[in-house]
Amino acid sequence: MMTGENRVMKHQDLRKFQSSSFQIKSSCAIRMLTAKLQLADAELSLKLGRNVLVHTSGRIKTVESILAKCRKKGYEPTYENAMEKINDIIGVRAVCSFEDDVYRMAEILYTHKDLKIIKKKDYIKEPKSSGYRSLHLIVELPIYFQRETQWVRAEIQLRTPAMDFWAGVDHQLRYKKGKKEAILIGEELKQYSQAVAELDQKMVELRKRIDAI
């Protein structure tokens, strides 16, 4: 049962998220992961003769969002709980040309010895019940800060432009959650997820046939 105190964050926990230290480490982690994605792209483009990375972006979750996720998962909203239980406080997204490129990128990240891959969640092979598709890697990377090696956790979302497009609409729907019309739209959106998946697969097939010419 939810009690009053875990609906809001205590002042001391809030301050830790808003601290410069937290912001510095998070920004550095985003910069490092982006550099790793660019390196992997360069390696793949050398091999395949074409670019694989369409674009990247990174974001740090807002305190409101962290609080909401703690609540949803049933944890007391402390700094320690959030850092331990929430994997996507730091998020980096890599949009890759084709569905097989998504796996190629992931495979290369596995060869980076300074990156601990904590978990792989393959929502392409097994989409979420909403229809959401993407490959998620929960990783930890070392940030050398204030004389310590701090392992910072982040979520890397790998997806195609089509998956990204679909997820953008789905994301907007989240804000209207609970409304009856939102449920109806959610169901339709789920069907398009299937259409998007088929498009992704057909595009890979066509590209392979082009490669083979």
d(CA 102, CA 124): 10
How far apart are CB 83 and a copy of itself at their closest, in Å?
A: 19
How far apart are CB 213 and a copy of itself at their closest, in Å?
A: 4
- Bridge partners (DSSP) listed for residue 120: 137
The binding track of 48-67 with respect to a copy of itself, each residue x by CB under 8 A or -, is --x---xx------------
Helix (H) or strand (E) holding 10: none
d(CA 18, CA 70): 17
Q: Which amino acid belongs to residue 38?
A: Q
Q: Which residues contact 118 (CB under 8 A, 6 or more apart)?
A: 87, 138, 139, 140, 153
Q: Which is nearer to a copy of itself, 7 or 194 (CB)?
A: 194
Question: Which of the following is catalytic: 64, 155, 187, 188?
Answer: 155
Q: Does 46 bind a copy of itself (CB under 8 A)?
A: yes
Q: Does 21 bind a copy of itself (CB under 8 A)?
A: yes
155 among known catalytic residues: yes
Burial 145-167 (b: 16+ CB within 10 A, else e): eeeeeeebbbbbbbbbbbbbebb
Burial 2-25 (b: 16+ CB within 10 A, else e): eeeebeebeeebbebbeeeebeeb
Q: Which is nearer to a copy of itself, 30 or 67 (CB)?
A: 30
Q: Does 1 bind a copy of itself (CB under 8 A)?
A: no
Can you give the binding site for a copy of itself, defined by CB under 8 A? 20-21, 24, 27-28, 31-32, 35-36, 38-39, 42-43, 46, 50, 54-55, 97, 111-114, 142-147, 149, 160-162, 164-166, 168-169, 172-173, 176, 179, 181-182, 185, 188-189, 192, 195-196, 199, 202-203, 206-207, 209-213
Residues with a known catalytic role:
155
